[in-house]
A and B are shown apart, each in its own frame.
Chain A
């Protein structure tokens, strides 16, 4: 089954404790993105990757890091989480650089206390 998977689905952590949210897709997609969803703001892009070892900032990259060492994986790293990073996070992938639809993971709900 074609899918994007994320882990963990739910995470409660404390300020400053490094964490990683994993994302993996099995569709051989080149393009992957991370978004955060906040009420009234829709989805905002954090980082995106056009291919292995090629990543770039989205609209809200502060406080986040990413890496793309393999085509299928695109982990999101929070080196020192803060309460304002409490949000719902989605990973997405798409086939090519054209106007293709993005496939979304199930989401990770992160709470930073």
Chain B
């Protein structure tokens, strides 16, 4: 079965330290991978995506993600965390159907808490 896993329910980081939010995937074929962020009482916002090409993808708000095919991972990273980065983060993988529509499969989410 195709799936996306986020092994950590919560990640705690001190402000100014680097952060990593982990994601692993099991999607057949060439995966399309996404990161979304959800702030309280808001919908999900797109951060970045991997389609093909460079394994390091840069996105919004200083976030980046590294695609690692051998480890089937797509970890989200930021060199220096801000308190305002505290939110719920979702990793998602995209499936292709015969009709061409790409369905998103979401991980369970990781809550990031950045402490002053």
C-beta contact mask, B93-114 vs A, less than 8 Å → 1, else 0? 0100001111110111100000
Residues of B within 8 A of A (CB): 4, 9, 32, 34, 36, 41-46, 49, 51, 90, 94, 99-104, 106-109
Residues of A within 8 A of B (CB): 4, 31, 33, 35, 40-45, 48, 50, 58, 90, 92, 97-107
Q: Judge whether B46 and A101 touch: CB under 8 Å.
A: yes
Given contacts A41-B108, A42-B108, contact A99 B102 (CB under 8 A): yes
Q: Judge whether A98 and B102 touch: CB under 8 Å.
A: yes
At the interface, is chain B mostly helix, strand, loop or mixed?
strand
Q: Judge whether A42 and B43 touch: CB under 8 Å.
A: no
Which residue of A has the minimal Cβ distance to B49? A101
**Using a Cβ cutoff of 8 Å, how many contacts connect chains A and B?**
58
Chain B residues with CB below 8 A from A100, complex form: 102
* Shortest 6 CB-CB contacts between residues of A and residues of B: A104-B43, A99-B32, A42-B106, A101-B46, A97-B100, A43-B106
